[in-house]
């Protein structure tokens, strides 16, 4: 087997300094490691979970499910299979063109029956849009931008980042180094408390307080980019925000108007809105939008 | 002394460079497409499942190259991964690893949460059933004039 002659501890230290990785070299002897060993050593992550970034894909999914269940106990899901399926295809299209095309069990969308102008994204890829918001949308390209904004919240893990760090520290401490699938009743009780607190943190951010302005501007910017990647017109983000601005002036309140920065400011923060070289207007796109949004 | 120091630097550089271009990647999501080209809407040539490991090069522009095609970096990890059965893939070193699934917040925790907290999980289950296939999304894009010249070929 091919080997590399190395002064392992020193090299490991150098790597740790560069990439924040923790290496365990106890199994290596004689200052020689095989290609396989050296490949493995460079892949080992830090031993301790610290933050929202360390929540696994499957854990994110379960948090997202509970957040979604909370949202749909506050808002009534719209029973319109055609519209829900249409929105689902758009969400999958823009998520495929995002920098996070796959979540643990994929992206899903549900239209909510509410006059409130609002849209939410729960961790793991659960997306919601109200009929009140849909009434402000004029084209599939605008709807794609709205939904891509929500996909960006998922891709950038904005929801997970609203979970208080102290909760995660508690959860990670409870889990420790245990690999067992079944927890003791005491561990389960502790984990359920932390889980409930984490879900409440995210729901409060989505429904009551909103994300920080920076996260909203980031979602606008990346949402427009994902829409562009899917060959939708990214400028449709601007035209929708302009309509939000008009609705705000006309006195529409609550929902997104309460939890998001002013549309004027959001428009000023949008980056390049030039469409892709493959962008083209389409009559069939216009037709299917009109057909799907009659409800 | 100088020679030793130089060897150390070269060895560390070699490790770093190789780590960027060769890795064992493990899938962290239930399923993800292996695409013909490193492009969003390139046709899917295979499906990679949760826990499957591949020898890969990259990532380059967000994509790992494997034997069958290209996998997006967001669906995999190049870190050591602990499987639910207690075994690991992706490395032999003994420091910590990424947990694939099952540990932490899981279906057990969700069941415990449901007992005390009223929430509409039935609606979430219905929502999850709505996902459409990769080919249906591509057909939707094509019929809406959204697929570029290279797309889906």
Q: How many CB pairs under 8 A join A and B?
A: 270
What's the confidence (pLDDT) of residue A25?
Answer: 24
Tell me whether residue B109 is in a domain. yes
What is the maximum alpha-carbon separation in chain B?
69
pLDDT at A170 over 50: yes
How deeply is B6 buried, as exposed, middle or buried, from its count of CB atoms within 10 A (0-12, 13-18, 19+)? exposed
CB A171 within 8 A of CB A263: no
Residue A197 has pLDDT above 60, yes or no: yes
At A28 the pLDDT is 27
Residue A228 has pLDDT above 90, yes or no: yes
Q: ipTM of the predicted structure?
A: 0.80
Instruction: Tell if the CB–CB gap between B107 and A183 is shorter than 8 Å.
Output: no
The answer as to whether B53 is a domain residue is yes
Least confident of A259-273, B16-30, B113-127: B16-30
Which chain A residues touch B14 with a CB distance below 8 Å?
4
Q: Is the CB of residue A236 less than 8 Å away from at least one CB of chain B?
A: no
Are A39 and B18 within 8 A, CB to CB? yes
Identify the pLDDT of residue A51: 73
- B123 with A110: CB under 8 angstroms? yes
Give the number of residues written for chain A. Answer: 295
% of chain A beyond a pLDDT of 70: 79
pLDDT-derived band at A32, boundaries 50, 70, 90: very low
Interchain CB distance below 8 Å, B22 and A39: yes
Does A40 sit within 8 Å of B90, measured CB to CB? yes
> Of chain B residues 49-108, which have a CB less than 8 A from chain A?
62, 72, 74-75, 78-80, 82, 84, 86, 90-108
Res A290 pLDDT > 80: yes
CB contact, 8 Å: B131 with chain A?
yes
For an interface test with B, which of A1, A7, A44, A157 has the most B Cβ atoms less than 10 Å from its Cβ?
Answer: A44
Does residue A90 surpass a pLDDT of 50? yes
Mean pLDDT, residues A235-244 taken together: 94
Q: What is the mean pLDDT of residues A186-215?
A: 91
Domain count, chain B: 1
Q: Assess contact for B18 and A39: CB atoms under 8 A.
A: yes
A41 touches B: beta carbon within 8 Å: yes
Task: Find out whether the peptide bond into A126 is cis, omega within 30 degrees of 0.
Answer: no
Report the range out of A190-204, A247-261, B94-108 with the highest average pLDDT. Answer: A190-204
Evaluate whether A194 touches A171 at the Cβ level (below 8 Å).
yes
Residue B2 lies inside a defined structural domain of this protein: no
The answer to whether B10 faces chain A, any CB pair under 8 Å, is no
Lowest mean pLDDT among A79-93, A225-239, A269-283: A269-283
Does pLDDT of A55 surpass 80? yes
Residue B8 lies in a domain: no
Does residue A214 surpass a pLDDT of 70? yes
Name the residue in chain A with its Cα closest to that of B44: A96
Q: Copy the structure tokens of residue B100.
A: 């694939």
| Cβ–Cβ below 8 Å for B144 and A77 | no
Find the Cα–Cα–Cα–Cα dihedral B44, B48, B53, B56, rounded to 10°: 10
Domain that holds residue B93: 18-143
User: Does the residue B1 lie in any domain?
Assistant: no
Residue B6 belongs to some domain of the structure: no
| Helix/strand/coil (H/E/C) assignment for every residue in chain B | CHHHHHHHHHHHHHHHHHHHHCEEEEECCCEEEEECCCCCCCCEEEEEECCCEEEEEEEECCEEECCCCEEEHHHEECCCEECCCCCEECCCCCCCCEECCCCCCCHHHHHHHHHHCCCCHHHHHHHHCCCCCHHHHHHHHHHCCCCCCCCCC
Residue carrying structure tokens 């891509």: A148
User: Does residue A126 register a pLDDT over 60?
Assistant: yes
What is the nearest CA distance from B45 to chain A, expressed in angstroms?
16
Give the residue from chain B lying closest to A122, CA to CA.
B124
Please check whether residue B13 lies inside any domain of the structure: no
**Residue B88 CB neighbour total at 10 angstroms:** 19
Tokens linked to A283: 């009559």
CB A97 within 8 A of CB B150: no
A41 to B99: CB separation less than 8 angstroms, yes or no? no
Cβ separation of B120 and A26 shorter than 8 Å? no
Inform me whether the C-beta atom of residue B37 falls under 8 Å from chain A C-beta atoms.
Answer: no
């Amino acid at each position: 087997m091919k080997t590399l002659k190395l002064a392992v501890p020193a090299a490991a230290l150098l790597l740790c300094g560069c990439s924040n990785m923790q290496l365990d070299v106890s199994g290596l002897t004689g200052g020689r490691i095989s290609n396989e060993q050296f490949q493995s050593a460079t892949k080992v992550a830090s031993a301790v979970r610290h933050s929202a970034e360390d929540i696994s894909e499957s854990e994110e999914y379960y948090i997202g499910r509970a957040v979604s269940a909370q949202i749909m106990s506050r808002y009534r899901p719209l029973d319109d299979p055609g519209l829900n399926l249409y929105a689902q295809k758009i969400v999958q299209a823009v998520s495929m063109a995002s920098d996070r095309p796959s979540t643990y069990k994929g992206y899903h969308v549900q239209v909510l029956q509410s006059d409130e102008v609002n849209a939410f994204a729960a961790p793991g890829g659960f997306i919601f849009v109200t009929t009140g918001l849909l009434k402000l949308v004029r084209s599939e390209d605008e709807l794609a931008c709205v939904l891509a904004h929500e996909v960006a919240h998922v891709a950038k893990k904005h929801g997970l980042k609203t979970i208080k760090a102290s909760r995660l520290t508690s959860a990670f401490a409870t889990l420790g180094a245990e690999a067992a699938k079944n927890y003791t009743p005491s561990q389960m009780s502790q984990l359920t408390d932390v889980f409930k607190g984490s879900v409440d943190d995210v729901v409060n951010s989505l429904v009551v307080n909103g994300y920080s302005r920076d996260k909203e501007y980031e979602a606008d910017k990346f949402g427009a980019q994902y829409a562009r990647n899917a060959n939708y017109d990214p400028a449709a983000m601007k035209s929708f925000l302009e309509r939000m601005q008009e609705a705000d002036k006309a006195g529409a309140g609550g929902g997104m108007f309460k939890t998001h920065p002013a549309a004027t400011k959001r428009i000023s923060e949008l980056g390049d809105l030039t469409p892709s070289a493959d962008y083209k207007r389409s009559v069939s796109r216009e037709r299917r939008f009109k057909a799907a949004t009659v409800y | 002394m100088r020679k030793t120091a130089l060897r150390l630097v070269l060895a560390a550089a070699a490790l770093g460079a190789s780590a960027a271009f060769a890795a064992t990647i493990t899938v962290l999501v239930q399923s993800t497409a292996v695409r013909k080209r490193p492009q969003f809407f390139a046709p899917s040539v295979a499906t990679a499942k949760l826990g499957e490991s591949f020898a890969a090069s990259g990532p380059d522009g967000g994509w790992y190259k494997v034997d069958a095609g290209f996998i997006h970096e967001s669906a995999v990890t190049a870190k050591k991964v602990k499987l639910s059965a207690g075994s690991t893939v992706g490395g032999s070193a003994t420091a910590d690893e990424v947990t694939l699934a099952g540990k932490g917040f899981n279906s057990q925790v969700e069941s415990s949460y449901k007992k005390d907290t009223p929430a509409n999980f039935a609606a979430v289950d219905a929502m999850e059933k709505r996902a459409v296939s990769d080919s249906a999304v591509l057909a939707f894009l094509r019929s809406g004039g959204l697929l570029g010249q290279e797309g889906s070929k």
